[in-house]
Structure 1
Amino acid sequence: MEQVYQSQTVAENKRFISIYKPVVPAELPNLLIAVQECLFFDKFINFKNQDTGEHVLTGLNFHHVQNFLEILEKQLGNSKSQNQNTFQPKLKTSFLPKIQESLKGKSETLMAKSPNKHNRIFASSQKIQPELYNLITNEELFQNYDPSMYFSLDTEQKNLMRNYLKEHIQIEQSQDQKIFQPQFDLLSRLWSFGLPRENGNILLDNMHGVQFKNEHKDSQIRGFNWVTQEGPLTENNITKLQTNLNDFTGMSDAIHRGGGQIIPAMRYVVISTYLSAQPTINVANFKVKLNFNIKDLQKIKDIVQKYSVTIEKENENKPY
């Protein structure tokens, strides 16, 4: 990565992934049934079906995935003894590093229409400001705050948060906004921090003079959270994304501006602005130095190749 904000951990939220498949494709349904039964024993294992047809297990670390595979093998052994079946698949496991999507540029204001063509959303995306990123991830005043809690805060708490935002955060405004919105309340304009929150994304309401704002607010938040959870490049989480809602024109009839119309349109416009803002893919790397006997060189290479390791340099130091 070209730039990393201060106090940020590059390898944060690293997950180990195990991609497996039986030797005989016809045994896949029995294997999936065994996996679903084993998921009741470990709630921290995620099971996902990829668009490519692969079924992916994700865990917290290497041993977490290995322990789950041992439970799976025991479950397959029990089903074999009960059903008198010769099903005994060989699991092929490979571990991949966790990657995240981000961006390093700024997009123009783009527009997306709802499926019925009656609603239009205008938005732009950019890399989040370092001050806003630290506000979401590190600031104690906003540590337990969620934008959905805005109306439940008391007046004293709102004033403290507003004063902090005025002192530390500056948002760019157009000339029309400076005229029609001299008192820009940034606290009420923070609509969402994305999912998951620790990735440092933000949805900012930058609209003025828009009708029915509260009616379509939840739908726009859901569309934004959908994109931050599954990015368009790798279907992984997005980090450091700031999306500004600039304008919205909706149908006067409430039936035609429901969630089924607004959520897809919001997802389309966020993806479009994100892809036009120089998107990037961040991969967490851990650099180590190994010292061992030259006789074990081939054994070491066979081990590290199983874990997507790249060997940068090899030096042979002769003993004195």
Structure 2
Amino acid sequence: MRCRYVIPAEEVPAGNLVLLGGVDASIFKTATIAAMNIEDDLHIFRPIKHMTQSVLKIAIEPIAPSELPKMLAGLRSVNKSYPLVTTKVEESGEHVVIGTGELYLDCVMHDLRRLFAEIEIKVSDPVTKFAETVLETSALKCYADTPNKKNRLTMIAEPLERGIAEDIETGRVNMRMSAKERGKFFEEKYHGPNILLDDTLPSQVDKKLLGTVKEHIKQGFQWGTREGPLCDEPMRNVKFRILDASLAQEPIYRGGGQIVPTARRVCYSSFLMATPRLMEPIYYVEVQAPADCISAVYTVLARRRGHVTQDLPKAGSPLYTVKALIPVIDANGFEREERSAVMVWDCFLGHPRNRESI
């Protein structure tokens, strides 16, 4: 829209930028648009995969409560304009915007205030999106009864084998695969473990009866892992094993209203008995500075729980490159503090006449 000319056209050859109107209501993030009368086989583009994730979130609200509809309309536009932005409404009623970092969210809020909503918006301090996990196997077998006391599920939780969570997140294995393909993937690479594992024995549990409530158990499991018991954050790297299931013979007593919340509760109890922990996101940062300023870089990183992974000179220049890991929750204002510390340190070392004043 900031091009020099906008020219109406019936068709456009490859290599040009095209503005389409009237399609935004049907598209969320990305889509493949094709003509209705096309005769060739359609080639659908795969959704864009990004190198990073949105882990920093802010809560927003309009200064004037009457302008809430304008802010919501602006959020819908922002959600389509920024590929990595996520917006949601918390149980408390807060409207939350999740982005990749400070600068990213600053750009989002600038567009929301000046371009899409055109209103003044109040923003909270940024907080970090955590994940919940476990370190050990549940100390006890945990069970939960349905409200009608006619069904019981027994589970334990334990950490996933190394690499499975990453394969799921990167899409190497997903629920769109057939059960045979998914089973073969885990059998060849991880010898069978999954996130929700039916570990019951046919001699103890009626498998046919268990199969009738399988979808309800999955729904409760997905609900529980989406909002963990520690702080309502998603679970990660946890494997739940169903060890026993006592189910009513009458279908009316084992409906979704009974099984779904029960499966969620037993996931929570087994999770809490398996040494739960919070996982925080980490930024990978790279700092380039003169050799004399490296000590200032280390000082700022240490103050923010940073961990240096590499420190080496940059070939052909007087600069050093420091690569480090820093928790996202401690990275707010890191760039400004780093620049300030390096500039003061450089002034102190490079200009002896200023030493007394400094």
TM-score using structure 2 length: 0.58
Counterpart position of 1:130:
162
Q: Which residue of 1 aligns with 2:135?
A: 104
Gap runs ≥5 in structure 2: 1-50, 304-328, 351-358
Structure 1 residues 97 and 119: CA distance shift in structure 2, 3 A: same
Bigger helix share:
1
| 8 A contact 2:86–2:97 mirrored in 1 | yes
2:219 pairs with 1:222: yes
Deviation at 1:119, TM superposition (A): 0.9
> Which of 262, 265, 274 is the matching residue for 2:262?
265
What do residues 220-278 of structure 1 show as CA deviations (whole Å, max 9, x unaligned)?
A: 11111112222122222211101000010111110110111111000000011111111
1:145-183: per-residue Cα shift (whole Å, max 9, x none)? 538721xx4xxx689558626xx53xxxxxxxxxxxxxx
Alpha-carbon distance in 2 for matches of 1:218, 1:123 = 16
Give the letter aligned to residue 36 of structure 1.
L
Determine the structure 2 residue equivalent to 1:198: none
Partner residue, 2:125: 94
Secondary structure in structure 1 of the residue aligned to 2:248: coil
Q: TM-score, normalised by structure 1?
A: 0.64
Q: Note the C-alpha offset of 1:137.
A: 6.1
Q: Which residue of 2 aligns with 1:237?
A: 234
Distance apart, 1:280 and its partner CA = 0.7
Match of 2:349 in 1: 319
Q: Which residue of 2 aligns with 1:81?
A: none
2:204 is aligned with 1:164: no
Secondary structure of the equivalent of 1:269?
helix
Higher RCO (C-alpha 8 Å, min separation 6) = 1
TM superposition shift of 1:54: 2.6
Taking the aligned partners of 1:36 and 1:90, their CA distance within structure 2 comes to 11
Q: Does structure 2 retain, via aligned residues, the 8 Å contact 1:94–1:306?
A: no
Helix, strand or coil at the partner of 1:130: coil
Opposite residue 92 of structure 1, the aligned amino acid is V
2:150–2:253 contact (8 Å) kept in structure 1: yes
% identity of equivalent residues? 20
Instruction: Pick the aligned partner of 2:198 from 193, 205, 214.
Output: 205
Match of 2:278 in 1: 281
Distance in 1 between residues matched to 2:169 and 2:91, nearest whole Å? 32
Matched residue type, 1:275: L
Relative to structure 1, the CA distance from residue 262 to residue 39 in structure 2 (aligned partners, 3 Å threshold; closer, same or farther) is same
Q: Say what the alpha-carbon RMSD is for the aligned residues.
A: 3.9
Larger of the two Rg values belongs to structure: 2
Q: Which of the numbers 249, 252, 271 marks the counterpart of 2:249?
A: 252
**2:219 partner letter:** R
Q: How does 1:170-185 map to 2 (within 5 A)?
A: none
- In structure 2, what is the Cα distance between the partners aligned to 1:231 and 1:159? 27
* Larger strand proportion of the pair: 2
| Structure 2 residue identity aligned to 1:111 | Y
Q: How many residue pairs end up in the alignment?
A: 250
Which residues of structure 1 form unaligned runs of 5+?
1-10, 78-87, 170-185, 194-201
Which residue in the other structure is 1:46 paired with?
86
Where do 4+ consecutive residues of structure 1 move more than 4 Å? 60-64, 131-138, 157-163, 287-294, 308-312, 314-318
Whether the 8 Å contact between 1:229 and 1:238 is mirrored in structure 2 is: yes
* 2:146 matched residue in structure 1: 114
